[in-house]
Amino acid sequence: MSDLELENIYTEHLEEDIVLQLSKKNNISLEKAMQIYYQSKLANWIHSGEFGVQYLDSAVLVELLEKEN
């Protein structure tokens, strides 16, 4: 498996964790949490690798996301 494939799998799992935590923490549906996440600057940062945020813990990233909204 290549480094790029591993990075993509890691990112996918990170996004799942973010959406799940956002949903549970704010008592909202997974669909709403997905909408919030995928329309955020954070999602763009993670996909582009900006600022290295993709290596932060998902709980920290959820806090950043909540501050954004």
- Its pTM stands at 0.91
Q: Per-residue pLDDT averaged across 4-21, rounded?
A: 95
Q: Residue 51 and residue 60: Cα distance in Å, rounded?
A: 14
The first and second tokens of residue 1, run together, are 């498996």
The string of pLDDT tens digits covering residues 34-55 is 999 999 999 999 999 888 899 9
Torsions phi, psi for 26 (to 5 deg)? -105, 5
| Distance separating alpha carbons of residues 48 and 26, to the nearest angstrom | 26
Mean pLDDT (the chain, rounded): 94
Burial class (CB in 10 A: 0-12, 13-18, 19+), 18: buried
Longest dimension (CA), the chain: 37
